[in-house]
Structures are given as C-alpha cells and as structure tokens.
A and B are shown apart, each in its own frame.
Chain A
C-alpha cells in the first residue's frame, strides 16, 4: 500500500517520519487496562533503562484472550507475547534484543483488511502513515467522486451495522440532493450487548475512521459530520479526538495537504446509554437534543434526517471498511465480537468469502466445536445457531452487527432466552405500544411458555409488524428462534 504515493502523501510521510524499530508495543486500551497492562508497560520501561523510549503504548489488537500482552516489532517481523501476568516480561525483552525463539506467533490477520494496524501502531500520525494510513484517501482523490462511487459499488461494500444496505446506493441518494446541506452521522453508539468492535477500531486505529469519513465526504460532499460514540467508551472518544487534532494539525482534515479544501466540519458527540440509541433515527433525535426515541419513517434520513437535511448514517465499521476499497481484491471481511464459552474470546476479522463456516470461527477461537451446543448471533435481537448448523457458510447478512456468544453444553438456553426477553423489556423506550406492552407481556408469557404457545406466536407477530423501530421489531426474533430450535427446553 505504500507504493505509488502521490507527492502530497510522500510529503506527509516526510513530515511525520516512521518510528524507530525494534520496539515493544504494550497492548493497553480499555481491554488491556482492565487486565493491568499498564503495569507491564512500566516494568518493561524500567527493565530497558536508557532504551525505554522503545516501549510504547498501543491499543488492543483484538486478541482480548491474550491480555495482558505485548508485541515486539522488528522490521516486518512481529511477535506477540501473551498473558504477561502468567509468563512475565523476560521473553519480551529477549525478543527485543534479537532472540525471539523459533515460533512466529501472530494470530491476527495482518497486513490487510480493517484490522491491519489494530494494536500495531502507537497512535502517532507517522506510525499510521508508515503503515499505509491515508493512502486510500490519496488514491480516491485521483478519481472523480463518481468514479469513487463506482469503485465502492463494484467492490460490493454493504453496511456493517446489521442491515447490509449497499453503501454506494445510500451515498448516491444523498449525493444527488445538491440543493441542501448534507449531513454524515457516524454511528459508533454500539449499544448491543456482546459487540465491542467499534471501540476497538476507535482506540486502535482512529485514523482509519477519519480516512473513511474523508473518503465519504469526497464522494458525497457533506457540510457536517457527527461522530456519535457510546457514552461509556470514554477512552475511545479521547483517542479519536486526539487523532482528529493530529489530522487537523497535519492539514489532512482540511485537505490543504493535497492542496484542496474539503470544508467539512466535524462534531464528536457522546451517547448516554440505552440499547435503542443505536437505532439510526434515535441518534438523530439525540444529536438534536430531542428525547432519544425513534422517528416514524418515511421520511427517511436520506431525505429528511438531521436538522431536516439529507443525512447519511453509516456504522463506524462501514467507514473503516471503505478504506480497503483499493486493496486487490478488496477483502470481504466482517468484524466478529466473540465471547462466551471459548478459550480465545475477542475481536476477529473473518473472511466472508463463501468458505468460512461457524466451525472455522470456533476453531479459530481455540475450541472444539463439539463442545459448543449453540451460538447466539446478534444479542437481544438475534438468533440461535445450533451445533448441527455450524457447517453453514457465513454470509454478511447472517452476521448482523457481528456479536457472537458461544454456549457450552452446560448452559440452560431457555434461561438465556428469558434473559434476552427481560433485556428487551428493560430497554424498550416506551414510544410505541407494541414494544412497550409487548416486551413486558412476553416476559410474563415466558414464565410458562408451554401453556402459551399460541399467545407467544401472536405476540411475536405483533412485535415484528407493529413496532416503530427494530428494537421492538426484532425483540421476538430470539424467542422465535428458541422455540424453533429447542422447543423442548421450555
């Protein structure tokens, strides 16, 4: 990706040189810090004495199971050292000094895709530029917006938030409306229990999101962009805002580095909790200072969205993925947040190439698929996939937002189903009757489901057809799935 850089990009790289190698990246961030990673950052700095500058703080690379961990980077060679709490730092120091042992040990996808730089950069612009940052934007600027939209369309990019609407189609809807100011809303609310991908992207590679936003801006021409970040993801917000300041100082954000004027104003907003806040129109209300409840549709956001203007709402992962559009071929991957009964839970970028199955994902996570009785995809709006379906090939639309929980053989799945129903009841915003009353009634009916089969089926239909937004609309999904997959458990 570093080849064929334009003169402006080469100049940026000159002004922001790559860091010196070898170095040790300690995986901190929210996940690392929850496992005491900062302690090892300090220990390594003390141990290296006058070379302590070579120990740098990086974010999680997604391998949460390995935390606390550190990666030694020697040129293109990288070696991750896992569970420093169990193994100590001696091997890390030996590797830094040139003795890395035999094992080339990196479980990440490496080099390609949207996690290519995750946890492998220290957050400085020089490091990110050296690893290919802003080269997709650089390339996009050599084509016309129309050509860029064609490239995105040809590569088949779809939204990664769950609905998988074609990106180019959505962007064209707003691009066509040249008479009114257009708005971009970046959905990094990520309030679905079990999903933690956007936090990783924002903490580990914030410049990729900025690059994606600028590419979208070049294609569509926005007046303003709002980045709406989950209220609890304070570290992610702070890191993203620092990166934004760096991109502004380097005249990347203004476009001046390419002798252009992008003219995009950007605002960062925090949410304050609530599953429903991940719903697109709820975010619009939240930004406008209205009560965070869904809006009636139509009008759709592309026609009358934020402050009444044509608005594109894209998931943070979607915009990050767009930066891979010029990779040959663009990798059809999806981020999966995997948790539950597996030895290696964490964030995985998995190929959605027609060959990957649930079995391959579970094997990647270090488990024997026979030990897993079922997985839940999509949390409280999701479905169960049972062991006999693990050989099914993964498709983008079957992955939703990518939240996957694995259940071992001891888990009571009927209890999980009840928990999901209770969660939907608590999180219902109360704006529409089917969801407000229906989710409450569902919890009651699930106390004695065998006696209420018909009522449950009716209620699922009411929720699905009558709810104002997808929280209610999909609240019946896990129940239906449970009744289809393991009816005898109730």
Chain B
C-alpha cells in the first residue's frame, strides 16, 4: 500500500470514527455505528470493527457475529473499477448473464429493487443504471 493510499484510508477512518463518536454508547447503536464506518471506508477493516465494539461496549466476537450476518457489510475492500450486475429474477430474465459474460471486471449482485428497469447495473459509487444493453454498458465502463 502506498503512502498516498494509506493517508486516504486514515482520513476515511477519521470520518468513520467521528461518525461513530456522535452516536450514544449503547448496544442498540451497533448497526448505526457499523454503517457509519462502512459509509466512510466502503468496507470494514478489523480496526473499524474494534472501534465500534469498544464504542457500543459489546464484545468484539459478538460484533463480528453481527457484522457477518448483514450481506451489505463488506469485510474486504471493494475491487477498484468493478461494476455490478443485478441478478434478481427480472434482471436475469432481461439478460443479466449476457452482461456479465461480455463485460470484463463485473460481479453479480443481489436484487437492487429496480426490477421494472431490468437489466440493472451499478458503478463503483453504487449509482444504478437501468434498461442497459451490452453496448451501453461497454460505453459506460470505457467512459
């Protein structure tokens, strides 16, 4: 990891900790605290989880058990530049597999609840795009 990346992470970590510090130190703030960290860092490194555990005064093991139970909480950093293709029922019907096959560096993601605009993709910033063709997807990735 370069110094630059490290400093960005530290800055994000600081955002995360101040978000957590703003919450009461109660157990019922566990998920809001995890989400505050996740929003700042895009994922939950061990340090972030420890910080949350300490803040809401819940054993680290229990916080891990809770964290891993939520599908949207990432325990690894997101892959840079990776796009996601929704693979809900409607998106599958509308050709999600074709998008996954033909565009490199794409990953599956569960239903994004835009079923009426299938097939749906999302970029790194989780911005959603609906009714996407292979050509349009390719253009967006390359732009």
What chain B residues lie within 8 Å of A427 (beta carbons)? 71
Report yes or no: A194 in contact with B72, Cβ–Cβ below 8 A. Answer: no
Known A-B contacts A231-B72, A287-B28, A289-B30; the reply to A196 vs B92 at CB < 8 A is no
Task: Count chain B residues whose beta carbon lies closer than 8 angstroms to a beta carbon of A.
Answer: 40
- CA A352 to CA B89, docked complex, whole Å: 25
Interface assignment of B20: CB less than 8 Å from any CB of chain A:
no
What chain A residues lie within 8 Å of B85 (beta carbons)? none
Interface assignment of A292: CB less than 8 Å from any CB of chain B:
yes
Known A-B contacts A232-B72, A291-B66, A345-B90; the reply to A31 vs B31 at CB < 8 A is no
What chain A residues lie within 8 Å of B75 (beta carbons)? none
Report yes or no: B89 in contact with A340, Cβ–Cβ below 8 A. Answer: yes
Interface assignment of B128: CB less than 8 Å from any CB of chain A:
yes
Report yes or no: B90 in contact with A339, Cβ–Cβ below 8 A. Answer: yes
- CA A341 to CA B90, docked complex, whole Å: 8
Report yes or no: A35 in contact with B116, Cβ–Cβ below 8 A. Answer: no
What chain B residues lie within 8 Å of A432 (beta carbons)? none
What chain A residues lie within 8 Å of B89 (beta carbons)? 193-194, 339-340, 376, 379, 405, 416, 419-420
- CA A77 to CA B107, docked complex, whole Å: 45
- CA A416 to CA B28, docked complex, whole Å: 39
Out of B32, B56, B70, B116, name the residue touching A269 (CB < 8 Å): B32
What chain B residues lie within 8 Å of A30 (beta carbons)? 114, 128
Docked complex: B43-78 residues within 8 A CB-CB of A: 56, 58, 62, 65-66, 69-73
Distance between A15 CB and nearest chain B CB, rounded to angstroms: 32
Report yes or no: B116 in contact with A65, Cβ–Cβ below 8 A. Answer: yes
Report yes or no: B58 in contact with A289, Cβ–Cβ below 8 A. Answer: yes
Task: Count chain A residues whose beta carbon lies closer than 8 angstroms to a beta carbon of B.
Answer: 52
Contact with A along B115-127 (1 / 0, CB 8 A): 1111010000001
Look across to chain A and name the residue whose beta carbon is closest to the beta carbon of B89: A405
What chain A residues lie within 8 Å of B115 (beta carbons)? 193-194, 196, 337, 339-340, 345, 405
Stretch at the interface among A102-110, A176-184, A270-278, A435-443: A270-278
Report yes or no: A291 in contact with B117, Cβ–Cβ below 8 A. Answer: no
Out of B35, B56, B90, B117, name the residue touching A31 (CB < 8 Å): B117
Report yes or no: B72 in contact with A339, Cβ–Cβ below 8 A. Answer: no
Interface assignment of B93: CB less than 8 Å from any CB of chain A:
yes
Report yes or no: A230 in contact with B66, Cβ–Cβ below 8 A. Answer: no
Out of B29, B66, B111, B120, name the residue touching A194 (CB < 8 Å): B111
Interface assignment of A290: CB less than 8 Å from any CB of chain B:
yes
What chain B residues lie within 8 Å of A233 (beta carbons)? 113
Contact with A along B129-143 (1 / 0, CB 8 A): 111000000000000
Docked complex: A206-239 residues within 8 A CB-CB of B: 230-233
Distance between A331 CB and nearest chain B CB, rounded to angstroms: 23
Contact with B along A276-296 (1 / 0, CB 8 A): 010000000011111111000
Interface assignment of A346: CB less than 8 Å from any CB of chain B:
yes
Report yes or no: B114 in contact with A272, Cβ–Cβ below 8 A. Answer: no
Report yes or no: B31 in contact with A272, Cβ–Cβ below 8 A. Answer: yes
Contact with A along B87-122 (1 / 0, CB 8 A): 011101100000000000000001111111110100
Out of A287, A307, A339, A379, name the residue touching B118 (CB < 8 Å): A339
Docked complex: A370-397 residues within 8 A CB-CB of B: 376, 379
Report yes or no: B128 in contact with A272, Cβ–Cβ below 8 A. Answer: no
Interface assignment of A64: CB less than 8 Å from any CB of chain B:
yes
- CA A427 to CA B38, docked complex, whole Å: 21
Out of B34, B71, B130, name the residue touching A34 (CB < 8 Å): B130
Known interface pairs A270-B32, A273-B73, A341-B93; 11 further A-B residue pairs with C-beta atoms within 8 A, sorted by A's residue number: A31-B116, A34-B129, A193-B113, A232-B112, A272-B34, A273-B71, A339-B89, A340-B115, A345-B117, A405-B89, A420-B89
8 A-B pairs with CB atoms under 8 Å apart are A194-B90, A199-B113, A232-B112, A269-B32, A270-B31, A277-B70, A405-B90, A429-B69
